[in-house]
Chains A and B, each alone.
Chain A
Amino acid sequence: MRRYPRWPIHLALILTSFVMLVPFYWVFKTSISGENIFNYPPSIIPRNPNLFYYVDVWYAIPFARYFLNSVIVTVLTIAANIVLNAMAGYALTRGFRGKTFILMLFLSCMMVPFQATIIPAYLITAKLGLLDSYLGLALPQFSTIICIFVFKASFDAIPASLIDAAKVDGLSEWRIIWTIMMPLAKSAMATNVILSFIWSWNNFLWPLIMTRSPEMQTLPLGLSRFLSYQEDTTGALYAFCIMVLAPGILLFLLAQKEFIQGLTSGATKG
């Protein structure tokens, strides 16, 4: 396989990486630029770079509050997801009456994108009295079918002999779940954390529909509101954009292996 030259591949990949990264740079450059951002021609390298747009954003909007809201909703979602999905995934590894029906039900639920349910979902949440609350923001994503199947696959992969041996040793079912099955389902858990993080952290449509008060806004919502009342007149919008992206990028770089693994296993097993 060493007959072909390497440089065309490198060239193509470097070009692609460049295309993937340039938009980030363009926004970052704008956010630290010290001149009028609408000067033409735009400077490729920012002139007298400074951080004052970031200071403006910090005092123009309650960034910390938005961030906190996003964190609370995301943590709620992740915690609920792990518990509920692990339970459902475990149940599906056992034989019981009506299992086929449940499986069919789950598979058909997977075909319903959340966007196709927004109006009744809003009405239901209103009936539950959960509009404009953290619980209401997180509730629709408390359990996800894809992750249930990821958990089921990983529980199924645990050899039955291991569990039988534990039963012979006299361990109760709960002990078996906690001391044997959960540690072996670590990668499923990582997948679940990553997927529910992405879905909940980036979620925009649902908070847009159901939050009323400004102090319940999450980051994506705050960003879009900021856009609508600033109408990109200053670089502050782009500074905000970078501030919103930074935690996601940081987390991705910290756990990139888990991210890629989690997303692929979520997609292929789901």
Chain B
Amino acid sequence: MADEDDFERPRWKVWLLNRFVLTPVILLVIALGWDLYASMNNDGLIVGRVVDAQGNPVADADVSLWIFNFTTFNENKHVTSGPDGVFTITGNPSHNVQVTAQKPGLGASPRVPIRLYFRSQNVTLKEPLVLPGA
């Protein structure tokens, strides 16, 4: 309340430029910025790669998306990897999912958990899904 002695400052400055106003405003701006970022990146895209044990891309592998539902993960979507092993899942509705890949003859990859910071966040997997081979 030391500002009261300060007659030079106009009244609106005293009322608006103090820590009780500035802190909530800053927090609000951060929250809005976060929301904006989230709304621009929530197409539910999951992009990744499927490789075999030697690291070669695997085409036509069956990639499935598992969605956390209270206590268990339920299978939700299937896509097929392209010729370069790349797959793209669209419309992921959740923030806590797992993906697996499998191909007859090459076995199934372990489930890879993906944690997202908001629902349907777009994400590109850094580690490829590895099929162990026959």
A255 within 8 A of B: yes
State whether the Cβ of A56 lies closer than 8 Å to any Cβ in chain B.
yes
- Chain B residues, Cβ within 8 Å of A255: 20
- Which residues of A234-270 are within 8 A (CB) of B? 250, 254-255
Interface residue tally for chain A (C-beta within 8 Å)? 10
* Given A55-B115, A59-B119: A254 touches B20 (CB 8 Å cut-off): yes
8 Å CB contact of B23 from A50, A55, A59, A250 = A250
Q: A50-B115, A56-B95 are in contact. List 19 more A-B contacts (CB 8 A).
A: A51-B117, A52-B96, A52-B115, A52-B117, A55-B95, A55-B96, A55-B115, A55-B116, A55-B117, A55-B118, A56-B96, A59-B95, A59-B119, A186-B1, A250-B23, A254-B19, A254-B20, A254-B23, A255-B20
Q: What are some 14 contacts across the A-B interface (CB < 8 A)?
A: A50-B115, A52-B96, A52-B115, A52-B117, A55-B95, A55-B96, A55-B117, A56-B95, A59-B119, A186-B1, A254-B19, A254-B20, A254-B23, A255-B20
Min distance, Cβ A187 to any Cβ of chain B, angstroms: 9
A residues within 8 A CB of B95?
55-56, 59
Chain B, interface size: which category? 10 to 19
- Chain B 1-16 per-residue mask, 1 if CB under 8 angstroms from chain A, else 0: 1000000000000000
In residues 82-130 of chain A, which contact B (Cβ within 8 Å)? none
Convert B94-128 into 0s and 1s, putting 1 for each residue whose CB lies closer than 8 angstroms to a CB of A: 01100000000000000000011111000000000
Chain B residues within an 8 Å CB radius of A51: 117
Chain A contacts for B116, CB-based, 8 A: 55
List of B residues within 8 angstroms of A55 by Cβ = 95-96, 115-118
CA distance A51 to B96 in the complex (A): 13
Write the nearest CB–CB distance from B68 to chain A, whole angstroms.
9
CA distance A173 to B45 in the complex (A): 68
CB distance from A133 to the nearest CB of B (A): 27
Specify the chain A residue showing the minimal Cβ separation from B96.
A56
B-side contacts of A254, CB under 8 Å: 19-20, 23
Minimum C-beta distance from A66 to chain B (A): 16
CB distance from A246 to the nearest CB of B (A): 10
**In the complex, which residues of chain A have a beta carbon less than 8 angstroms from the beta carbon of B118?**
55
Determine the distance from Cα of A186 to Cα of B4 in the docked complex, in whole angstroms: 12
Cβ contacts A159-193/B at 8 Å (1 or 0 each): 00000000000000000000000000010000000
Report the Cα distance A93→B99, complex, angstroms. 72
Which residue of chain A is the closest to B113 with respect to CB atoms?
Answer: A52
Which residues of the other chain, B, contact A186 by a CB distance below 8 angstroms? 1
In the bound complex, CA of A254 to CA of B26 (Å):
14
CB-CB nearest 4 A-B residue pairs: A52-B115, A55-B95, A254-B19, A55-B117
Give Cα A52–Cα B119 distance, bound, in whole angstroms: 12
Chain A, 44-67, CB within 8 A of any chain B CB: 50-52, 55-56, 59
| A51 to B116 CA separation, bound complex (whole angstroms) | 10
Complex Cα distance A67/B1, Å?
Answer: 29
A250 to B117, CA, bound (A): 24
Q: How far is the CA of A50 from the CA of B96 in the complex (A)?
A: 14
**Residues in chain A near residue B119, CB distance under 8 A:** 59
